[in-house]
Structures are given as structure tokens and as C-alpha cells.
Amino acid sequence: MARNLLGIRQLSTDEIGELIKTAAEYKARIEANKPVPEIKNKVIGMLFFENSTRTRMSFEQAAHYLKLKTANFVASGSSMSKGETLKDTVLTLRYERLSGLVMRHRQSGAPTLAARFFGGPVLNAGDGRHEHPTQALGDGLTIIERKGQIEGLKVAIVGDVEHSRVARSDAWLLSKCGAEVRLVGPRTLIPQNTSLLPGTVFHELSAGLADVDVIICLRLQRERMEEGSLSSLNEYAKLYQVNRETLRYAKPDVLIMHPGPINRGIEVDDTAADGESSAITAQVENGIFVRMAALHWVFAGEHQA
């Protein structure tokens, strides 16, 4: 039976800890130029139906370190452009003898659908507004490296929570690991049914950032927004930008994070993005190691019941 990585909410706290620990071990080995365990005789299909730089490149780099072969899928040049359904595409890839799939898709639940028909491991690289589990695992690793632990921390997730799969995965991971989660943003960018997400809602930035240990800034996903969700970029920046002035509400040693891509001057200023408190580049690097851990985890467990 295949083991999939479709979302953080399905993982136990022990499984989250196992994945982060494995990622840290891979990182230590690579930084020390020591060999890492290889995944032999496997081919992973890279199905990216949405644009991606960080996630795609880090999955490819992770596969490279593991000596895992990759096969890239381009939707525009496939039979899907002729009307083939996602189900039939997945079945085709299954019988092309691919060993596993990494999938990013605009529709929430697409990787879950793929997992029903593929027969091998499926890893969710981001689906609609649903989840982005490997980004959350990388964020967890980064926080532990800089803060020593997650349990007991106060973490503010700031900005466009409504459209963010990263916010959802981060909220689940942080909550499961014992952090206090705050969802901070304007009413139009906070999900209406917040009872489905762990965390306390704040609409005022000063209150949301009060005494927090970690701030996770989110990109404004204007391509997903309905008309009227945002009055203007200038007003948003005035009320919710994390910058030199608004950082004074948080703890002096606050950690600043952002899953990228960053809209500088809107979500964050240069001080927040590039200062000593920023862990944004560490998040990018750690993405490689958590995706190595994720690939190891799904293939190591694919025959477990």
C-alpha cells in the first residue's frame, strides 16, 4: 500500500517530528560532504500544473541528492491539452511505470484524486487553497534551527490567509507541535469559517504581533482574489506591512519568514526581508532537505499497511 504525503492535517505529531528530524540529518550529511542513503531504481514524475520556482527546483535538487530519477510532465504538451482528464493522465503515468508523483495543481484535492488511481506514492507540492505540506515542514525545520523548538512559541501568520495553502499547512503543523498560532489580516483576506483552522484571528497588526516569537508573512495572491478583496496595495501596506516600525510590537529576537515570492514594499520592507532577524533564505535552502526527507518517507513506507 502506497504512503502519500497529501497534507499536514493527516500527519501525527510523531510523523511530523520524524520528517523534520530526517531532514536535519540529511542537511548535516550534505554540509559535511558525507554520503546520504540513496533511493535506487525509482523514477518520480514531476507534475506541475502551476508555475513554481522554489518548490520545483528543490524537489529536483532533492531527487538529485538521493540519486532518484525524475521525469518532467508539461501539461501544455500533453494529452490533457486534447481534453484528457486528470484521472486518465494519472492512469497513463502509472502504466508508464513511474514510481511516484510530485504534483502541484490549481484545484484543491487534485493530488488526493491522483493518489486514488496512481497506486504509488503521491506528494502534494501545493493544491489550490488546500495545503502545501513540504513548505510547512521546511518552515518547521527553520524555526527549530533558529529557536530550538516549536512548542510554546507564539507565531503570527500575516496577510492573505484566505488564499494561502502555506498558511493552512503552517497553522496545522505549528498547532500540532504546540505553538500558539495567530492569523492576522484584513477581514476580506481571512477565511470566513476559521473554526476549520487552528489559530486565533486578529484584524489589527499591532495586536497580532504583540510579543510574538515568529512572524510568517504571506504573499498577496492577487491572481486568486475576487474584485473588492483588496481596496489598494498602498492601503494594505500601510496597515499590514511587516517593517522596521511594526516589528517593535514583536519580541526583540523575533524571527521573520516568508514562503516567497516576496512583493517587496508591500508585505515586507527591506529591513524585515534582509535583516538579521530574517530566515527567508534559510527557508529556501531547507526546502531541499525536507523534500529529501519526504521522498525518503513515502518510498520507505510504500509497502506498509
- Per-residue pLDDT of 32-49, as tens digits, reads 999 999 999 999 999 999
| Same domain? 209 vs 92 | no
Q: Is the pLDDT of residue 75 over 80?
A: no
Catalytic residue among 3, 22, 27, 55: 55
For residue 38, what are the contacts with CB-CB under 8 A and spacing of at least 6? Answer: 66, 67, 68
| Same domain? 95 vs 158 | no
Q: Which residues, in sequence order, are bridge partners of residue 69? A: 43
Average pLDDT over residues 59-69: 97
Q: How far apart are CA 33 and CA 37, in angstroms?
A: 13
Per-residue pLDDT band for 84 (boundaries 50, 70, 90) equals confident
| Same domain? 142 vs 274 | yes
The CATH code of the domain that includes 35 is 3.40.50.1370
Catalytic residue among 9, 27, 42, 104: 104
Would residue 5 count as lying in a domain? Answer: no
Would residue 194 count as lying in a domain? Answer: yes
Would residue 4 count as lying in a domain? Answer: no
Would residue 229 count as lying in a domain? Answer: yes
Average pLDDT over residues 291-300: 97
**Please, what is the angle between helix 86-95 and helix 110-118, to 10°?**
40
Q: Is the pLDDT of residue 176 over 80?
A: yes
Q: Catalytic annotation on 132?
A: yes
201: Cα within 13 Å, side-chain hemisphere:
17
| Same domain? 291 vs 274 | no
Q: Is the pLDDT of residue 226 over 70?
A: no
Residue 259: domain span: 134-279
Give the model's pLDDT for residue 51.
Answer: 85
Average pLDDT over residues 264-284: 96
Catalytic residue among 27, 42, 132, 296: 132
Would residue 305 count as lying in a domain? Answer: no
The bridge status of strand 214-217 relative to strand 154-158 is parallel
| Same domain? 121 vs 248 | no
| Same domain? 157 vs 257 | yes
What string of DSSP letters covers the chain? ----B--STTS-HHHHHHHHHHHHHHHHHHHTT-------S-EEEEEESS--SHHHHHHHHHHHHTT-EEEEE-GGGSGGGGT--HHHHHHHHHHTT--EEEEEESSTTHHHHHHHHH-S-EEEEEETTTB-HHHHHHHHHHHHHHHS-STT-EEEEES--TT-HHHHHHHHHHHHTTPEEEEES-GGGS-S-GGGSSSEEESSHHHHHTT-SEEEE----GGGPPTTS-S-HHHHHHHH-BSTTGGGGS-TT-EEE--S---BTTTB-HHHHHSTTB-HHHHHHHHHHHHHHHHHHHHHTTT--
| Same domain? 104 vs 144 | no
| Same domain? 203 vs 272 | yes
Nearest CA to 174 out of 205, 146, 138, 206 is that of 138
Average pLDDT over residues 281-302: 94
| Same domain? 37 vs 47 | yes
Q: Is the pLDDT of residue 305 over 50?
A: no
Q: Is the pLDDT of residue 301 over 80?
A: no
Would residue 6 count as lying in a domain? Answer: no
Catalytic residue among 34, 82, 187, 303: 82
Q: Catalytic annotation on 55?
A: yes
Average pLDDT over residues 90-100: 95
Nearest 5°: the CA angle 156, 160, 166 is: 70
- Per-residue pLDDT of 196-213, as tens digits, reads 799 999 999 999 999 999
Q: What percent of the chain has pLDDT over 70?
A: 92
Would residue 163 count as lying in a domain? Answer: yes
Average pLDDT over residues 89-100: 95
Per-residue pLDDT band for 238 (boundaries 50, 70, 90) equals very high
| Same domain? 29 vs 126 | yes
| Same domain? 59 vs 166 | no
Count of structural domains, the chain = 2
| Same domain? 109 vs 181 | no
Q: Catalytic annotation on 94?
A: no
Q: Is the pLDDT of residue 216 over 50?
A: yes
Would residue 22 count as lying in a domain? Answer: yes
Give the model's pLDDT for residue 187.
Answer: 93
